[in-house]
Amino acid sequence: MGNDRLDVVGIGNAIVDVLAQASDSFIEEQDLPKGSMTLIDMSRAESLYNAMGPGVEVSGGSCANTMAGLASLGGRGGFIGKVRNDQLGGIFRHDIRATGIEFDAAAATMGPPTARCLILVSPDAQRTMATYLGISVELGPEDVDHDLIRRAKVLYLEGYLWDSPAAKQAFVEAAETARAAGAKVALTLSDPFCVDRHRESFRELVDGHVDLLFANEAEIVSLYEAGSFENAVQQVRGHCEIAALTRSEKGSVILADGEAHQVEAIRIGDLVDTTGAGDLYAAGFLYGYTQGRDLPTCGRLASLAAGEAVSHLGPRPSRSLAELVRSHGL
């Protein structure tokens, strides 16, 4: 394999984000639950887009953001996702390749358009998302590049894929290939509503198929219907090799081998936009993990990448994370 080895291959929804600033009253008028992600259809996507203020278009998608962060740290990665041969599909392909991530899947010539996520950023930096998933959810087993996965140390999957039966099948087959090749399987729970929709099957996954679990406080509490973060921590222990649980400004907790490592959040400048904080946390952690760093250091790398993500509009790094890491002595 030699130089062919990749640190992480990610599978996720290929989405272009359209970010705009919005007041709380606008979010309420649009009947969107503040701070969460709502799935919308094409006609709703068009009407909301027309009602929004001026937007910034930037490639997104939870897993793709993580891969872009990994590349910015100096890691090597590949991405599997589905786009159409349209303008947004072209933007997505250009942006992810420009980061250095391998993305070779041909664009579909038929079917719905490329996915988009309309992100309303309120004055308190919260993000409220309305997502039209378009062709991204038509990802199926035929789109899985097994040769790409065999080159990876870690296969990283986003929970949002679980909303589509074909993507779910792709996810399972990819995980089997990764395991057979000796790679670890990582999962991010993506969103508390996503967890609500698939609680039982996520629990089964975490139990039997996942080595590394990423979740925020709301997601892990939802997964175990735990009532509190402390209860959720007790319940997740022993279910997977490593659980990295984020708590916004309270930092994160990394559970492994019966130990709990507390990691502080790292602030870099003002809090501008929380979009992508969890995605970049996972990027920092996976970078450290695939470089063989110890778990507290993985956590610090994760906090640093997340701290950079919230200091500007949009989910992807605005400067070299590798340089930022060096300047912090990591």
Residue 93 in domain: no
Reported for 189-192, long-range contacts at CB under 8 A and 24+ positions apart, including other chains, are 189/159, 189/213, 189/214, 189/215, 189/216, 189/219, 189/220, 189/223, 190/62, 190/158, 190/159, 190/160, 190/219, 191/36, 191/37, 191/159, 191/160, 191/219, 192/36, 192/218, 192/219, 192/221, 192/222
Over residues 48-89, the pLDDT tens digits come to 989 998 888 889 899 999 999 999 999 999 999 999 999 899
Across all residues in the chain, what is the average pLDDT? Answer: 93
- In angstroms, the first-to-last Cα distance of the chain is 28
Report the percent of the chain where pLDDT is more than 70: 99
Q: How far apart are CA 295 and CA 61, in angstroms?
A: 26
Identify the CA nearest to 154 among candidates 60, 83, 241.
Answer: 241
Over residues 243-265, the pLDDT tens digits come to 999 999 999 999 999 999 999 99
Over residues 162-215, the pLDDT tens digits come to 888 899 899 999 999 999 999 999 999 988 888 999 999 899 888 888 999 999
The predicted pLDDT at position 36 comes to: 87
Domain of residue 143, CATH code = 3.40.1190.20
Q: How far apart are CA 121 and CA 99, in angstroms?
A: 25
The predicted pLDDT at position 209 comes to: 84
Q: Which domain holds residue 319?
A: 2-14+60-82+135-327
Residue 53 in domain: no
Given a cut of 60, whether residue 123 has pLDDT beyond it is yes
Mean predicted confidence (pLDDT) in 6-24? 95
The predicted pLDDT at position 3 comes to: 64
Residue 26 in domain: no
The predicted pLDDT at position 56 comes to: 86
List the structure tokens of 300.
């610090």
Q: What is the pTM of this model?
A: 0.92
Q: How far apart are CA 49 and CA 46, in angstroms?
A: 5
Task: Count other C-beta atoms under 10 Å from residue 67's C-beta.
Answer: 33
Over residues 80-120, the pLDDT tens digits come to 999 999 989 999 999 999 999 999 999 999 999 999 999 99
Residue 27 in domain: no
Residue 128 in domain: no
Given a cut of 50, whether residue 1 has pLDDT beyond it is no
Report the percent of the chain where pLDDT is more than 90: 81
The predicted pLDDT at position 176 comes to: 95
The predicted pLDDT at position 2 comes to: 43
Structure-token match 């070299």, residue found: 320
The predicted pLDDT at position 154 comes to: 98
Residue 106 in domain: no
Over residues 142-153, the pLDDT tens digits come to 999 999 999 999
CB contact at 8 A, 1 and 71: no
Residue 299 in domain: yes
Residue 100 in domain: no
Given a cut of 60, whether residue 5 has pLDDT beyond it is yes
Query: What is the number of domains present in the chain?
Result: 1
Mean predicted confidence (pLDDT) in 272-300? 95
